[in-house]
Amino acid sequence: MTDSMQALSELHSLLGECRCCGNMIPPVVLGRPVVSPVISIGQAPGEREGPAGRPFAWTAGKTLFGWFQRLGVDEESYRSQVYMAAVCRCFPGKNPKGGDRVPSREEIAACSAWLEQEFRILRPRLVIPIGKLAIARLMPVGKLTEVIGRAFEMELWGVPATVIPLPHPSGASTWHRTEPGKTLLADALGLIGAHPAWRELFSRGEE
C-alpha cells in the first residue's frame, strides 16, 4: 500500500504539470490519489471543474453522486475511496456549435499513457467508465443500450477487471431519465453495488 501510494503521488505530481496538448485548457483536473480496487473513468472536465480543482464538481456531478447515493455511498465517501480518472484531464474548450469540444484522437492517446500507468499501479478489479467517450476508450460501443446494465470481464493494460459502464450524467441528456435508460441505469448500479471490490470498500461499516 505504501509503495502504491508513493507511486501514485509521484504520478499525480507529473500529471499535474502536463501541458502536452496545445488545444487543451489547463489546469489538469485530478481526483484524490486514492489507492483503491475501484476506478471510475470520466470523459473530460468541463469549464467549472478546473477552478473547482476536482472532477464532476458541477451539475453532472450532482446527478452522478445521486446515483451512488442509491447504493448508500455519499459524495465524500466516493471521492475518498474510489480513484477518479478520466479519458482526458484538461478542459477541451467549447465547441462553436454548442457544448464542449470532443477531444481529438491525439489528445485521447496522449492522456491514455497516464491512464495506463494508473492501472499498473492500482491494478483495479472494478472499472466504471462514465459516458460514451469513456466507454469507447475501453470497448467497442454502438448504442448505449448494448452496454449499460451489463458487466464485462476484460483485460486492460494487462490488468484483469470487471467493467460496468454508466451513461453520462449530463443535464442535457435525457437517456438516463427515460426508458429503457432508467431501467438499464438501475441494473448497472445494482451490478456495481454487488461487485466484491465495491463491497470491500463500502460494506466495512456494516460488519
Instruction: Categorize the per-residue pLDDT at 204 as very low, low, confident or very high, splitting at 50, 70 and 90.
Output: low
Quote the cell numbers at residue 197: 471490490
- Whether residue 109 is contained in a domain is answered as yes
pLDDT band at 127, cuts 50/70/90?
very high
Is residue 181 included in any domain, yes or no? yes
Task: Please check whether residue 106 lies inside any domain of the structure.
Answer: yes
Give me the number of domains the chain comprises.
1
Helix ranges (H only) for 20-179 are 49-52, 59-69, 75-81, 105-122, 132-138
Asked if residue 207 is part of any domain, the answer here is no
Burial of 193 (0-12, 13-18, 19+ CB in 10 A): middle
Is 140 inside a domain boundary? yes
CATH code assigned at 150: 3.40.470.10
Residues listed for the chain: 207
- Asked if the structure places residue 206 within a domain, the reply is no
| Under 8 Å between Cβ of 178 and 172 | no
Strand partners, 126: 38, 162
Tell me how many degrees the CA angle 127-63-91 measures, rounded to the nearest 5.
70
pLDDT digits (tens, 9 = 90+) for 75-85: 999 999 999 99
- CA-to-CA separations, 72 to 26, 67, 68, 181, 190, in angstroms, rounded: 34, 9, 7, 21, 12
pLDDT exceeds cutoff 50 at 207: no
For the cut 90, the answer to whether the pLDDT of residue 203 exceeds it is no
Q: How confident is the model at residue 205 (pLDDT cuts 50, 70, 90)?
A: very low
Computed over every residue of the chain, the mean pLDDT equals 95
In a domain, 205, yes or no: no
Kindly indicate the confidence band of residue 97, based on its pLDDT and cuts at 50, 70 and 90. Answer: confident
pLDDT band with cut points at 50, 70 and 90 for residue 98: confident
Alpha-carbon span 4 to 9, nearest angstrom: 9
pTM: 0.95
Mean pLDDT of 65-94: 97
Residue pair 83/40 in contact (Cβ under 8 Å)? The answer is yes
- Domain range for 32 is 2-200
Q: Is the pLDDT of residue 49 over 50?
A: yes
